[in-house]
Chain A
């Protein structure tokens, strides 16, 4: 070849090379560098094992991720091969089959795909990757590689899931179980580099609704694909992947059936008919709003989103070449704003100056346009205030007259924050007014009176740490209460220590007194309510009221904490999520976490709030507030308890438990919710009393908590809120904390339990050098509170307490002594 020809040849090849580098740099190009390497992909579990929330299992999710990962590796790279242990949800592949096959094939790497479950606190959601570790704090198993892969994957997976992480770590460090071989079977038995990934929690409602989406699984797989490339120091090809979640801006709920288009591609978010009908009978329950595009070309593109009932949305997004290009979209509803409810209701009445008119709108309102469209007849001066993100309007009635009818009209030109005209008649078309007609009442000149007291007057055998409850027939003026309320020990005339709370419920007041220091055993106390407590109109009580009760030497002790809600309410379905729930208005019946109404008897900081709105036109009514975890289980030698904040509605409440055989349930008798404020509700299972639902009216252990259930009695209040806290099994007994000797210790000491390991009872000794509030709790290896052994004020001394783990499974547990000045934990091993 001539020199000039050689030069031309070289230039042509150079141009071709540059063209190949740039012109064809789409995501689907062949990635080289994996030749001579292969991987065994293990989608963890089989069939629909490890069922997550909303009837979608971890096993199904893992399979989808595994198949996507294998397809990416085979289609896009020069990898020798990618094995997979199962390709469908029919086979049942054991752990030994997985590792035996991988070992037999001589795979270079083993990756096990999982997601996690929280038995308590289902709102938990985080990633975790575990490599095989030779003992707690030990090195990686041989051959190495799993640790390196884990350290790369944890960042990519966590960023892809857009959640928190517990990190990448050795499996022994995570499980904290002694031993020098890797803890996980897939790490222990494989003869290749290995690790196991946990991509979020399938018990988390948001995560598991996303897990159902086919492309979400592809997103998870892609983080693993990129991990493998980086593991081999192979540059990532142009990413070109956009993803996001479409939500309703106001409700925050993901939008089903949103049509998303980008760079010539279209994706539609999942709908009930396309997907969710597989997992629920409720068309409104499930949603993820997830969209996902691959092979998007570089540069800036217009992302267009439309959905029925929402304004169209358009935004420019610039594709990132470092990671997924995430763009979440908030859509604005086209439904005009309307009235949800009012206080007082239409044609109802109020006390002017004491009670205000409150109007609840369906959407955030434009305050100016509402203010300019309000008319009140007869004319009265008023002031407005807004709350709840401008969805709640309060009209002060200080200048309203007594015994007068007022018409309050909001005109049709009022608008919501987004410019939609007000829909006063609620027919879905904006531009029409709404008029609320109310009456003002006669002045109240009657003093408040007491309607209920717990413990009842002259009650005996009262637990020594009760929640006292005094209900009134009307609202009290808070400032007049605390100086006129006390609980006095008769023999010493000393006051009991506790926290007094005043709750206003539906125009009535209730006082709860949470005893902070246990009452003396077998002693008589008097609840003293002095004259002078005023209602909100200033009418004072004129007589003292005294209620005596006598304590026993026993108290209720938590045996197993089923849920104290401290970790959230993610383990609970929304009421409408259960097919058993009927006769409710679904939009206004819901469950939520509360940090406002708390059972201070257990120093709670969170509770569960259940807002119910019965459909009075229905013929049957039931709310099944379902608890998803399959543990703990318990027998019939216990008391099932919950602290319940009642609304005095006289609607009914009961417990439901599930028996071992599928579909076997039993329920407690109904309890009339005839109380206001906090009350401890107990179902003594040993008495064998049951109600009628599904089952044979015989409690057949082991039992698992299934649900709280509520029903409506026509004529009662149909809309209200109740709260639950500290669901547990318990026993009523004398304190099992024994003072060992008369010697006063000089320091706090928590001794090792004996025997250890134990089955099922062990003894824990500790010392308290001065009178202290003492809490002794048992937690499992994941830090979940299993039992409260002591939660009491103890005098200085040496103590021992027995811990009975009859209802627990073998494993490592921790017990922790907590006082104001001291905290220490020790490990114990239950071996059954």
Chain B
């Protein structure tokens, strides 16, 4: 068994009963690695560990990991900068029973961090890059906040919109006019795991207690994509990768990775496995592979979809 295990590490290709995948970061149930995301240039993978505590960078050229931080919550809802040099996230700390949150930017090379605001007890939103990474937008219960990131403006990656949920409505902020277009795709619904397509034309989101949907940024073209969780766009904005999980109220009992076209066609189960719980998929920058976590094993794999 030991020999077999070593062999798998060397070859890094694991043959699951229904598909092949490459073992990228070898975690264990005791030290699970989770929530991986490629850097935009494809040279690195950021990931977190159990409970989304801490952030690590796996350098694909050096085949080694370095830790950016061990702060609480750092590994949930983080974002790479477009130049792959920085990561934006919200960190947390506890003093007695109270939780305090702050927005930080980590330099991937130096590991230095830049804290953008004071620790606050209430921070119900995740920060987003804007204005070519030169600024950080943080929605808030009251007035939304904007911070200078301290990074130089990357004029080649200026986003046109920012999307977030507020008051059970989708807020689409047009950065060219600073106007917010409020969309209510499904009356009274709450929205989570909202993701704007790279071409800035479409939004995919989960309805709390309901299905996965796509809608255009202007509020038109609502498409019910069926049951699904944790959606992520393909780099060409044509497809969405996500999971369909089943649970018994206590534990996840099954999960498979699905691919679907933005118009709801071409739905395909990529994994179709009974015994493996695949979670948190995202595309590689070239759109040819899917990065995901093996929930039970605690490792990160890459699956080709070519």
| Interface residues of A, Cβ cutoff 8 Å to B | 36-38, 44-46, 49-50, 80-81, 85-86, 90-97, 100-101, 103-109, 114, 132, 135, 141-145, 148, 179-185, 188-193, 196, 231-232
Contacts and interface: CB of A to CB of B under 8 A. Distances in A.
A189 B251 CA distance: 11
B101 interface: yes
Contact of A143 (B72, B121, B190, B279): B72
A141 B49 CA distance: 12
A101 B72 CA distance: 17
B29 A141 contact: no
Nearest to B53: A142
Nearest to A810: B275
B142 interface: no
A179 B190 CA distance: 34
B247 A188 contact: no
A104 B128 CA distance: 13
Nearest to B251: A185
A104 B125 CA distance: 6
B26 to A, nearest CB: 16
B99 A108 contact: yes
Given A37-B98, A106-B101, A179-B29, A188 B121 contact: no
19 contacts: A86-B208, A93-B209, A94-B245, A97-B206, A100-B230, A101-B190, A101-B192, A104-B125, A106-B73, A106-B124, A109-B99, A135-B30, A141-B51, A142-B51, A181-B29, A182-B51, A183-B251, A185-B247, A192-B99
Interface in B52-105: 52-53, 72-73, 76-77, 90, 92, 94, 97-99, 101
Interface in B232-255: 243, 245, 247, 249-252
Contact of B247 (A94, A135, A148, A179): A94
A231 B97 contact: yes
Interface in B26-56: 29-32, 50-53
A46 B209 contact: yes
Contact of A108 (B121, B230, B279): B121
Given A141-B51, A181-B50, A93 B94 contact: no
Contact of A95 (B101, B190, B249): B249
Given A106-B99, A106-B122, 9 more contacts: A44-B249, A96-B279, A100-B206, A103-B52, A104-B77, A105-B124, A108-B121, A189-B51, A191-B76
Contacts of B279: 96
A109 B210 contact: no
B97 A38 contact: no
A101 B101 CA distance: 16
Given A143-B72, A181-B50, A190-B51, A93 B251 contact: no
A179 B30 contact: yes
Interface in B175-220: 190, 192-193, 206, 208-210
Contacts of B193: 100, 104
Nearest to B280: A96
A36 B101 CA distance: 11
A143 B94 contact: yes
Contact of A109 (B72, B73, B97): B97
A179 B295 CA distance: 12
Contacts of B53: 142, 191
B292 to A, nearest CB: 14
B149 interface: no
A210 B16 CA distance: 48
Contacts of B30: 135, 179-181
B210 A103 contact: no
Contacts of A92: 209-210
B50 to A, nearest CB: 5
A191 B51 contact: yes
Contact of A101 (B51, B92, B208): B208
B250 A185 contact: yes
Nearest to B34: A189
Q: Chain B interface: which size bin?
A: 35 or more
Q: 10 tightest CB-CB pairs across the interface, nearest first?
A: A91-B209, A108-B99, A180-B30, A36-B121, A95-B247, A93-B209, A191-B73, A45-B249, A105-B124, A191-B52
B262 interface: no
Contacts of B97: 37, 108-109, 145, 148, 193, 231-232
B126 interface: yes
Contacts of A181: 29-30, 32, 50, 298
B249 A106 contact: no
B123 interface: yes
Contacts of A86: 208-209
A181 B277 CA distance: 16
A179 B206 CA distance: 31
B294 interface: no
B171 interface: no
Contact of B51 (A37, A45, A104, A188): A188
B72 A106 contact: no
B229 interface: yes
A104 B29 contact: no
Contacts of B77: 103-104
Contacts of A107: 99
A81 B141 CA distance: 11
Contacts of A135: 30
Contacts of A108: 94, 97-99, 121
B252 A180 contact: no
Contacts of B209: 46, 85-86, 90-93, 97
Contact of B192 (A44, A104, A182): A104
A192 to B, nearest CB: 6
Contacts of A191: 51-53, 72-73, 76, 92
A105 B140 CA distance: 11
Contacts of B192: 97, 100-101, 104
A145 B72 CA distance: 14
B126 A104 contact: yes
A36 B96 CA distance: 12
Contacts of B52: 103, 189, 191
A119 to B, nearest CB: 13
Contacts of B245: 94-96
A144 B229 contact: no
A564 B210 CA distance: 42
A143 B74 CA distance: 13
A95 B252 contact: yes
A686 B264 CA distance: 47
Contacts of B298: 181
A188 B245 CA distance: 16
Contacts of A188: 50-51
Given A108-B99, A191-B51, A191-B92, A114 B249 contact: yes
B121 A37 contact: yes
B64 to A, nearest CB: 23
B208 A145 contact: no
Nearest to A83: B124
Contact of B94 (A80, A190, A193): A193
B122 A185 contact: no
B94 A144 contact: yes
Contacts of B229: 94, 96-97, 100
A184 B73 contact: no
A190 B298 CA distance: 16
Contacts of A114: 249
A291 B77 CA distance: 47
Given A91-B210, A93-B209, A103 B247 contact: no
A85 B53 CA distance: 23
A184 B29 contact: no
A145 B252 CA distance: 24
A231 B97 CA distance: 8
Given A106-B90, A144-B94, A185-B251, A180 B29 contact: yes
Contacts of A94: 229, 245, 247
> Most B CB atoms within 10 A — which of A80, A145, A191, A231?
A191
Contacts of B206: 97, 100
A36 B92 CA distance: 14
Nearest to B165: A104
